[in-house]
Structure 1
Amino acid sequence: MPTMIFVNLPVTDLERAKAFYSALGFGINQQFTDDKAACIVISDTIFAMIVTKPYFETFSPKTIADTSTSVAAINALSRDSKEEVDAIADKALTSGGLQTNEPQDLGFMYSRSFQDPDGNMWEAMWMDPGHVE
């Protein structure tokens, strides 16, 4: 079985968060979804567990980061082209997300960053495969 990643993200409004991630084109695995959390399917091996803050607080004795003033992580997702980077970032911005930084175009790499309605940060990026070789 391939290694999978499950990124757990605290959210204040589960239905709003589900609508946001669905608008980005991601699915929801109903088997792992209830009134406290939802499993967002990003790919066959990447998932975001969006979790209500009260339930998220049971996961750790640490305080949940205030994403309106600080960042705990930036979750980066590769895309197959610059156009796909723009497409997902544009969907994020029209679905309640906020732009985090200006787009970066380094020629061989292109990225755009945004945050979901709860301030969780994401970056979509494309890298020229020829440059990596």
Structure 2
Amino acid sequence: MENTEEESNNSGVKSSDQVSDTKNHSDPNQEEDPSVDSSSQILVLLTPPKPFNMHTREVDNNDDFVVQNDGLHIQHDCLAALEEELDCLRSQYAEEVSLRRELQFELAQMCEEIKELKKLIML
């Protein structure tokens, strides 16, 4: 009688069916995956990565890549976006500089024309 009570406690779940308290609540019979480094949580491949075409950036979906945890590999997309924005700002600046030079040239011409008109009026 006592055995049936022990087996049926914890809302009707047998003690042999209970999951042990682990970090990731995975199968207690399963060992830790040796391909995952628990200290830095980076995938460590047992085989070297396959090369891919850098020009088209076509990558097989099954390929895994090993990256060194330098803290910057995640930020490359952000850096590329900032560089693109910087290029746009540089081109806008170049346009504004050329417009300013044109306006300064027109202003100098108008000043000369005004001086000539004053001379004609004085005569």
Query: Per the shorter chain, which TM-score range?
Result: under 0.3
Q: Determine which structure has greater relative contact order: mean sequence separation of CA pairs < 8 Å that are 6+ residues apart, divided by chain length.
A: 1
Decide which structure has the larger Cα Rg and report it: 2
TM-score for both structures, normalised by structure 2: 0.19
TM-score for both structures, normalised by structure 1: 0.18
Which structure shows the bigger proportion of residues in strand conformation?
1
